[in-house]
Amino acid sequence: MISFTELGKGSELTVHKNVTGKQVPQGIPLTIGAGETVTVTQALGDTLTLDIGSRLVRIETEDLENLGVEAPEQLGTNQALSLENQVWNVLKQSYDPEIPVNIVELGLIYDLRVSTLIDGRTHVHIDMTLTAPGCGMGPIMARDIKEKINALPEVDQADIQMVFDPPWDASRMTEEARLEAGLF
């Protein structure tokens, strides 16, 4: 097995077992057959984006084994941090499958609210957008983020809302993100 941390852009892998990922940006399932050779375009957070014959496909953590890749260690939660900061840390480990920048630095998070409901449960609400409104990866990214936030011990319920007003543009990116994406 190859360590996830050893992978970088341009690394080649041979698929061990058939694996189904999500084609980027459509978000539709795409199966890669055992024995096929694929090229890593990004190995960030806990997912891979692969190039298979000029098509991009995102592979989830639970499917990395089919590629002969060890899943990265799950992020521990630093409970010394406020819950809001823990959520921000989770978001910073979520990446756009086409752009090697986390969604916070990319400017996709418009609002994050942590509240205590009347029954005492903790609710996290996030408004996020996409770089392109029709991106089929949006629901996949939102589901992934929701699962990771719900896994935080103090969170009882997470809600991820897709919003498109105001529309996203590159001015929402941090300076570091623009450098990484080559926009300077």
Question: What distance in Å separates the CA atoms of residue 174 and residue 158, rounded to the nearest whole number?
Answer: 26
CB neighbours of 39 closer than 8 A, spacing ≥ 6? 10, 11, 12, 13, 50, 51, 52
pLDDT in 10s for each residue of the chain, 184 residues: 899 999 999 999 999 999 999 999 999 999 999 999 999 999 988 899 999 988 999 999 999 999 999 988 765 556 678 999 999 999 999 998 888 899 999 999 999 999 999 999 999 999 999 998 888 899 999 999 999 999 999 999 999 999 999 999 999 999 988 888 777 6
Q: Which two tokens stand for residue 38?
A: 């694929």
Q: Which residue has the tokens 């498109």?
A: 164
Question: Hey, where are the domains in the chain?
Answer: 2-70, 83-181
41 touches 57 (CB < 8 A): no
Dihedral angle over CA of 52, 135, 177, 54, nearest 10: 20
Element (H, E) at 139: helix 138-150
Question: What distance in Å separates the CA atoms of residue 70 and residue 73, rounded to the nearest whole number?
Answer: 9
Please give the CATH topology (third level) of the domain spanning 83-181.
GMP Synthetase; Chain A, domain 3 (3.30.300)
21 touches 59 (CB < 8 A): yes
Question: What distance in Å separates the CA atoms of residue 134 and residue 110, rounded to the nearest whole number?
Answer: 18
Q: Which two tokens stand for residue 177?
A: 């993100």
Domain 83-181 in the same topology as domain 2-70: no
Question: What distance in Å separates the CA atoms of residue 45 and residue 1, rounded to the nearest whole number?
Answer: 18
pLDDT value, residue 75: 55
Question: What distance in Å separates the CA atoms of residue 139 and residue 169, rounded to the nearest whole number?
Answer: 20
Q: What residues does 24 pair with on adjacent strands?
A: 56
Q: Which two tokens stand for residue 108?
A: 């996709």
102 touches 95 (CB < 8 A): yes
Q: Which CATH number fits domain 2-70: 3.30.420, 1.10.1750, 1.10.3470, 2.30.30?
A: 2.30.30
